[in-house]
Amino acid sequence: MKQLINVPETVVADALRGMAVAHPELTVDVENRVVVRGDAPVLGKVGLVSGGGSGHEPLHGSFVGHGMLDAACPGEVFTSPVPDQMVRAAAAVDSGAGVLFVVKNYTGDVLNFDMAAELAQDEGIRVAKVLVQDDVAVTDSLFTAGRRGTGGTLFVEKMAGAAAQEGAPLERVEGVARRVAESSRSFGVALSPCTTPAKGSPTFDLPAGELELGVGIHGEPGRERRAMMTSGEIADFTVDAVLEDLPPDGPVIALVNGMGGTPLLELYGFAAEVHRVLGERGVPVTRTLVGNYVTSLDMAGASVTLCRVDEELLRLWDAPVRTAGLRWAA
Amino acid sequence: MKQLINVPETVVADALRGMAVAHPELTVDVENRVVVRGDAPVLGKVGLVSGGGSGHEPLHGSFVGHGMLDAACPGEVFTSPVPDQMVRAAAAVDSGAGVLFVVKNYTGDVLNFDMAAELAQDEGIRVAKVLVQDDVAVTDSLFTAGRRGTGGTLFVEKMAGAAAQEGAPLERVEGVARRVAESSRSFGVALSPCTTPAKGSPTFDLPAGELELGVGIHGEPGRERRAMMTSGEIADFTVDAVLEDLPPDGPVIALVNGMGGTPLLELYGFAAEVHRVLGERGVPVTRTLVGNYVTSLDMAGASVTLCRVDEELLRLWDAPVRTAGLRWAA
């Protein structure tokens, strides 16, 4: 697999240099690998910080901005960032109102954010944490004890970000984040593996006529492999897997997410099938977001995340957001 | 190559069904394949209409909305839409102020938009046309006499769309579009071929260790094939190819565009290299847009489009836009 890179060793730093030139409204610390809102710290505002391995862009760096994250810490590709990055990020965004760490459930991320929280608290920063573990495909996987954190992260960052932007105190921002995390479930499929810069070849084998049902965002194994299915069949399987775990007792927001290598043309067709299944199951969909948001480099495939929303969460979803990767006005 | 589709025959209709459910603010005529702003026709406003073969998403359908296109006509994958679609689109968006067709320079598109313009004029609609032919790689190619239209289309649709949104008359909207088209130049490279749904296998061969310099957005041949290059070397070649044709006598907006299959992580790294080269050549970059905007299905690769801007064009670029694929507030 050919890649548009210089050398594998500088891929993350190169991307950060690109973010810096493309987004002058951000403060990008290339050396220390921290992306911060240019106007941070915002007086009286809770700081939202997330991070994780690179390779899932636009998550997290492109979600830094008004109404979403205050800072993001990118690790190497598919590798946790280190506590030092997280502490720097917390210090950069804390205005005295405290900081919330949004943590995807991967062992390295969890350990390092835990350590960072202790270090930041030692420096006098109030820190709360929320763990995102929305992937219903498997419990305990490569890199994870329990369930993996995937597409639900976008919902947590958007809605908790909106609450923080409104000036909610730390306890409430944390409460929103926790509620969104508990209301979100995901399931993904892979049609092809991805290729990391360091390896330069596919990270796993997927035979020509098969797909992986329940794949993780690093290509971790899912529930099973089957002979290739149609978009409609994949939507049936995927939505039912999510609904089995998230009983449909109210309206949902649907994220129809591409893994990176699947064309938008196909994703929109898949979104139509996802809506068809949700309609057949009697689940009202209030908002639908279609695109590549939580990716696995060049992997072909898609995931569906459903987030059950009440009036407050829907209002927080609709609130204005201005980031490189997600933006809308009120 | 596996694809997230039902059957090749319904790919475009399926995607339009997906657009309809995800974007209730649009009027999507799935049967007749026309995507229209939900509030069209807007009284006194010039209607902007574009279209072309599918497979380049988000172009054009996802650029329909406030401040950009009023309607888009998607053809089959890599196949021109038919005049009937264009006439329907023109009729749907004309408020009496006239309609501007934005046409990428491919033989089928040009012929069909010409015919549609005549038919629409017969129905009493004033129609102007602007041809986008920004790709400096080659003249005369598969599907094209003269230069191909590629990334420059985004600039034309955005800036002419802003002028139309402001209420400019047809002659001025056409003038803006023509000026943007004349001020934009592109050059693209492919690291891998793309796979159309109908064919189900790569549309061209590209040996393991080579890239195609100057590739078209349907995988048409470019200038030459070379042994794989680094991101920095590709940026040198690409930017110089553009600048050779667009002497740098003022500030530019840079579009660093992915062909669909290249991860955003790599695109941002490439954007850093593009900025480095522009800096070395003394060209000031006022705005930079990085992402997958004018794509070739799942092709890996990227293109660079530079648009030379004066104060007026920069103001039109910065004007608010609310579409599925491009959106920002003032």
Mean pLDDT for B52-78 is: 98
CB hemisphere CA count around A56 (13 angstroms): 29
Q: Which of A228, A268, A274 to mutate to test the interface with B (most CBs of B within 10 A)?
A: A268
Please indicate, yes or no, whether residues B235 and B161 belong to a single structural domain of this protein: no
Sign of CA dihedral B88, B92, B93, B96: positive
Residues of B whose CB is below 8 A from A55? 263, 265
Q: With pLDDT > 70 as the criterion, what percentage of chain B qualifies? A: 100
Q: With pLDDT > 70 as the criterion, what percentage of chain A qualifies? A: 100
Asked if the model's pLDDT at residue B37 lies above 80, the reply is yes
Last residue of a domain, which of A182, A213, A237? A182
CATH number at residue A280: 3.30.1180.20
| pLDDT tens, residue by residue, B73-88 | 999 999 999 999 999 9
Q: What is the pLDDT of residue A204?
A: 84
CB hemisphere CA count around B7 (13 angstroms): 2
Instruction: Kindly report the backbone phi and psi dihedral angles of residue B96, in degrees, each rounded to the nearest multiple of 5, phi listed first.
Output: 110, -15
At A220, which helix (H) or strand (E)? none
What is the dihedral angle through the alpha carbons of B120, B75, A287, A237, rounded to the nearest 10 degrees? 150
Q: What is the pLDDT of residue A95?
A: 97
- Across all residues in chain A, what is the average pLDDT? 96
Last residue of a domain, which of A164, A182, A200? A182
Domain that holds residue A107: 8-182
Q: With pLDDT > 90 as the criterion, what percentage of chain B qualifies? A: 91
- Alpha carbons B145 and A308: distance in angstroms, whole number: 53
Please indicate, yes or no, whether residues B167 and B57 belong to a single structural domain of this protein: yes
Please indicate, yes or no, whether residues A158 and A217 belong to a single structural domain of this protein: no
Q: Tell me whether residue B157 is in a domain.
A: yes
| pLDDT tens, residue by residue, B255-270 | 999 999 999 999 999 9
- Exposure of A203 by Cβ count < 10 A (0-12 exposed, 13-18 middle, 19+ buried)? middle
Does any CB of chain A come closer than 8 Å to the CB of residue B25? no
Instruction: Kindly report the backbone phi and psi dihedral angles of residue B289, in degrees, each rounded to the nearest multiple of 5, phi listed first.
Output: -115, 125
Contact flag B271-A21 (C-beta cutoff 8 Å): yes
Buried (b) or exposed (e) across B148-176, using 16+ Cβ within 10 A? Answer: bbbbbbbbbbbbbbbbbbeebebeebbbb
Q: What is the pLDDT of residue A249?
A: 85
Q: Identify residue A227 by its one-letter amino acid code.
A: A
Q: Tell me whether residue B330 is in a domain.
A: no
CA–CA distance from A290 to each of A173, A230, B240, B296 (Å)? 26, 19, 36, 18
> In the annotation, is B275 catalytic?
no
Please indicate, yes or no, whether residues A154 and A231 belong to a single structural domain of this protein: no
- Alpha carbons B104 and B88: distance in angstroms, whole number: 19
- Alpha carbons B191 and B207: distance in angstroms, whole number: 9
Asked if the model's pLDDT at residue B141 lies above 90, the reply is no
Give one DSSP letter per residue of B196-245, joined into a string: -TTT-SBSS---TTEEEET--TT----SEEEE---HHHHHHHHHHHHHHH
Asked if the model's pLDDT at residue B203 lies above 90, the reply is no
Asked if the model's pLDDT at residue B5 lies above 80, the reply is yes
Mean pLDDT for A273-302 is: 97
Last residue of a domain, which of B178, B211, B227? B178
Please indicate, yes or no, whether residues B192 and B310 belong to a single structural domain of this protein: yes
- Alpha carbons B72 and B34: distance in angstroms, whole number: 6
Nearest to A6 among B7, B230, B329 (CB): B230
Please indicate, yes or no, whether residues B17 and B163 belong to a single structural domain of this protein: yes
Minimum Cα–Cα distance from B15: chain A residue: A269
Q: What is the pLDDT of residue A120?
A: 98
- Exposure of B201 by Cβ count < 10 A (0-12 exposed, 13-18 middle, 19+ buried)? exposed
Please indicate, yes or no, whether residues B284 and B234 belong to a single structural domain of this protein: yes
Please indicate, yes or no, whether residues A295 and A219 belong to a single structural domain of this protein: yes
At A134, which helix (H) or strand (E)? none
- DSSP designation for A9: G
Asked if the model's pLDDT at residue A330 lies above 80, the reply is no
Please indicate, yes or no, whether residues B152 and B297 belong to a single structural domain of this protein: no
Q: How many separate helices (H) and strands (E) can be counted in chain A?
A: 8, 14
B-contacting residues in A 114-133 (Cβ below 8 Å): none
Based on its alpha-carbon atoms, the radius of gyration of chain A, rounded to whole angstroms, reads: 19
A-contacting residues in B 172-191 (Cβ below 8 Å): 191
Number of compact structural domains in chain B? 2
> B204 pLDDT band (50/70/90 cuts)?
confident
Q: What is the pLDDT of residue B128?
A: 98
> A145 pLDDT band (50/70/90 cuts)?
confident
Give one DSSP letter per residue of B94-124, joined into a string: -SSS-EEEEEES-HHHHHHHHHHHHHHHHTT
| pLDDT tens, residue by residue, A9-32 | 999 999 999 999 999 999 999 999
Q: Which of A85-89, A198-202, A321-325, B117-121 has the lowest mean pLDDT?
A: A198-202
Contact flag B14-A268 (C-beta cutoff 8 Å): yes
Does any CB of chain A come closer than 8 Å to the CB of residue B230? yes
Q: Strand, coil or helix: what is B247?
A: coil
* Structure-token match 């993350």, residue found: A12
Q: Tell me whether residue A204 is in a domain.
A: yes
Q: Tell me whether residue B204 is in a domain.
A: yes
Q: What is the pLDDT of residue B221?
A: 86
| pLDDT tens, residue by residue, A166-211 | 999 999 999 999 999 999 999 999 999 999 999 888 888 888 899 9
Q: Tell me whether residue A2 is in a domain.
A: no
Q: Identify residue A208 by its one-letter amino acid code.
A: A
Sign of CA dihedral B279, B281, B287, B288: negative
Q: What is the bridge-based pairing of β-strands A47-54 and A71-77?
A: parallel
Mean pLDDT for B316-320 is: 98
Mean pLDDT for A57-85 is: 98
> In the annotation, is B218 catalytic?
yes
Q: Tell me whether residue A324 is in a domain.
A: no
Mean pLDDT for A96-124 is: 98
| pLDDT tens, residue by residue, B146-182 | 999 999 999 999 999 999 999 999 999 999 999 999 9
Please indicate, yes or no, whether residues B66 and B171 belong to a single structural domain of this protein: yes
Sign of CA dihedral A199, A200, A206, A211: positive
- Alpha carbons B2 and B239: distance in angstroms, whole number: 34
Asked whether the ipTM of the predicted complex exceeds the cut of 0.90, the reply is: yes
Question: Do the Cβ atoms of B187 and B137 come closer than 8 Å?
Answer: yes
| Residues in Cβ contact with B314 at an 8 Å cutoff, skipping those fewer than 6 apart | B251, B253, B286, B287
Q: Tell me whether residue B269 is in a domain.
A: yes
Asked if the model's pLDDT at residue B1 lies above 80, the reply is no
Nearest to A261 among B5, B230, B298 (CB): B298
B-contacting residues in A 234-293 (Cβ below 8 Å): 234, 256, 260-273, 275, 285, 288-290, 292
Q: What is the pLDDT of residue B249?
A: 85
Asked if the model's pLDDT at residue B247 lies above 90, the reply is no
Please indicate, yes or no, whether residues B168 and B203 belong to a single structural domain of this protein: no
Asked if the model's pLDDT at residue B298 lies above 90, the reply is yes
- The first and second tokens of residue A35, run together, are 């992306």
Mean pLDDT for A225-233 is: 97
Does any CB of chain A come closer than 8 Å to the CB of residue B22? yes
| Residues in Cβ contact with B327 at an 8 Å cutoff, skipping those fewer than 6 apart | A327, A328, A329, B65, B321
Minimum Cα–Cα distance from B259: chain A residue: A263
Q: What is the pLDDT of residue A143?
A: 82
Contact flag B21-A289 (C-beta cutoff 8 Å): no
CATH number at residue B163: 3.40.50.10440
Please indicate, yes or no, whether residues B101 and B70 belong to a single structural domain of this protein: yes
